[in-house]
Chains A and B, each alone.
Chain A
């Protein structure tokens, strides 16, 4: 078969492809998974989606901690001594094939009785026979087919999460009551005065009263509590006039039917609550597979291997790590505490922490910081601090992480409602005073009518429907917001601060330029082949950048740790590494990383590495500079300063050598000067800055994996759309304002009925749904129309690239 991509995972398998069953595989791992599936008649997996698989990773010994009862108890949600049920988070779930294979686990092992996938949450719920099978074996089985569960420290501390469905119940009750009340009140709209209607209308009215009871006392609870809280904090939020309206509606209607003044407003009351709750429900869109509240706990492992005094190994819970403990960190494991490297060759990938993907080499005696991931073999380290006191985790003791951002922000709706409430109340009192002089019997009727008709249902709906819809549109463009308030905050932003590494630079690629004497063809071949033998990250990068060459077998290959590599082929030799290693003594202090080369002991030149910036970056900055102050905060040195200056508009502020705390303080400083700051970052080191900023956006190469706590998650490839997102959030606010104007017009009409004392229940029953529905229609059309311009613009750009 000439297929060049792996049948299992779709990666290019290249010349080193393995063949099995006439199918090409990129590696042994993928081939093994295929073998497992084909032996168990599960090859249907490949029919549903082509190349759906994930390359399995080596997990030898990684899950030993799952043998500990204390940890099992935390993970298992049901245990009756015979069988256990556990829900595991598997971030790799991405297609229908994944669902199929994970729900057919029982075919792979008969001890598993059932497994159920929740695609949205990316979890699988497994039930298995706990007498002859264990959670550890189930996890290893999943890992062996490429679906390695993600078990983090967070699972240990949070316990079982509780789903809050009260809004659905409230909405269901309001809808149920609304429908029934409408039927019951319908005959009276026509006032036909028929015999049987006269006979039964009292019964009908008391039935409506009964239906409205759960609506008033259960469904509208949130509005009463919110209004009460607002009044106690001396603010008139939108829920104050709503709560007032509900109370007046209910009392007036009850009095009306009690003394036979009329049929009451139960239809409007239940309808109002139904529409209001519908708006709330529409706005409450969360992306269940994303989490916006993550702290270091979701990155950290639940347990780590401790080396005992007698040389034995024992998995221990990370919170139990004490100073002086010897720890074994296996390949691909995260370092949970600060410590000193004792044994082994460490290559630490700090990409979780800094966003920088190049691994750093460490030798024994070096300090290791928590949050790094070991990426070559096992190492032994001695803990210097406990988990909470480590350099990285200390950041979370800062006050910003205990503050709820939304509380300090006044939404547009609440801003308007303040004036609105005052106006409505004064109209109510003035017209009541007027009627007291003219016709005192009508005064109370007018007072209640004004409060009923002015109940700001449409105003309260404008923001949820507009922002809820924008939230969905953003989601479709891979910009995921925590909630709808973030859109309003986005529209108010005037300063944008970017993190450098991993945010405006791409994690995946970097570029290198060569300076010095040109290399001959044979030297190039030797260079490439020498690099081939090395696992050093710089060698790997350089190897990937150089042109494809013939593969030759080196006669000799030497690796000098911390210095460089040396390759021999026939008479030629080549040294690649630091300046000292290749024999160049005079070097200028350069900040950029470079690799020097000498052939046959004569110095040739050097490769200098630069960050590779995301494409379209300079255009994005030029779009943004007209309206926003821009700044870049970097934890790195100034090596990239010149490059950035060339690329970005002149007014962009560039700050280097910023520690996580510095970033946070910098944003705080700007905020005290009145700036509304948007922070865009990616690593855990930005977590403080993201929390401090008015809006914190975490940029992610893969939104399914982890990002620090933030207000929004943006797919890295959509960074260029940022200026459009900002523009759209501003248009959203404009739409909300226009909806306010529209609903004010309804209110003017309604109030004119009310102050003249002519408000009939049927008028209220028509006006209220009419205003609500027209607001919903207006906002939906308007948001789709504004965003269609955005969509069009992008689809017209895309084909030209």
Chain B
């Protein structure tokens, strides 16, 4: 019978955890820039592709 109290407090606890996570994310500035990450995401592939090539020349080019 009193299981409803347990269930309610659990469900509210879960909701509050997500709520706090959202507030933390806003506070850390995750929502400040809503455009750049969408572009940055698409770059990762090219970086991986380049890596093997880069190792050969990296020593030459460390100095600006």
Contact = CB atoms under 8 A, between A and B. Distances in A.
A96 B41 CA distance: 11
A41 B62 CA distance: 12
B51 to A, nearest CB: 10
Contact of A110 (B15, B53, B60, B62): B62
A41 B33 contact: no
Contacts of A118: 32-33, 36
A176 interface: yes
A121 interface: yes
A99 B36 contact: yes
Q: Which of B29, B42, B50, B64 is the most central at the interface, judged by chain A CB atoms within 10 Å of its CB?
A: B64
Nearest to B5: A203
Given A107-B54, A119-B39, A168-B31, A39 B60 contact: yes
A207 B46 contact: no
A664 interface: no
Contacts of B12: 180, 207
A162 to B, nearest CB: 12
A78 to B, nearest CB: 14
Interface in B39-64: 39-40, 42-43, 46-47, 50, 53-54, 57, 60-62, 64
B26 A172 contact: yes
A588 interface: no
A39 B27 CA distance: 40
A108 B35 contact: no
Interface string A131-171: 00000000001000000000000000000000101001100
Which secondary structure characterizes the binding site on chain B? helix
A200 interface: yes
B3 to A, nearest CB: 12
Chain A: interface size category:
20 to 34
Contacts of A109: 62, 64
A165 B26 contact: yes
Interface in A65-107: 96, 99-100, 103-104, 107
A117 interface: yes
Contacts of A103: 40, 43
Which secondary structure characterizes the binding site on chain A? helix
A40 interface: yes
A639 interface: no
B60 A141 contact: no
Contact of A99 (B15, B39, B61): B39
Contacts of A99: 36, 39-40, 43
Contact of A39 (B40, B50, B57): B57
A355 to B, nearest CB: 31
B61 A39 contact: yes
Contact of A180 (B15, B39, B46, B61): B15
Interface in A37-53: 39-41, 44, 47
Given A41-B57, A108-B64, A207-B8, A165 B27 contact: yes
Given A99-B39, A117-B36, A118-B36, 11 more contacts: A40-B61, A47-B46, A108-B64, A118-B32, A119-B35, A119-B36, A141-B64, A176-B19, A200-B4, A207-B8, A207-B12
Interface of A: 39-41, 44, 47, 96, 99-100, 103-104, 107-110, 116-121, 141, 163, 165, 168-169, 172, 176, 180, 200, 203, 207
13 contacts: A41-B53, A99-B36, A100-B46, A104-B47, A107-B61, A109-B62, A119-B33, A121-B33, A141-B64, A168-B31, A172-B19, A172-B26, A200-B4
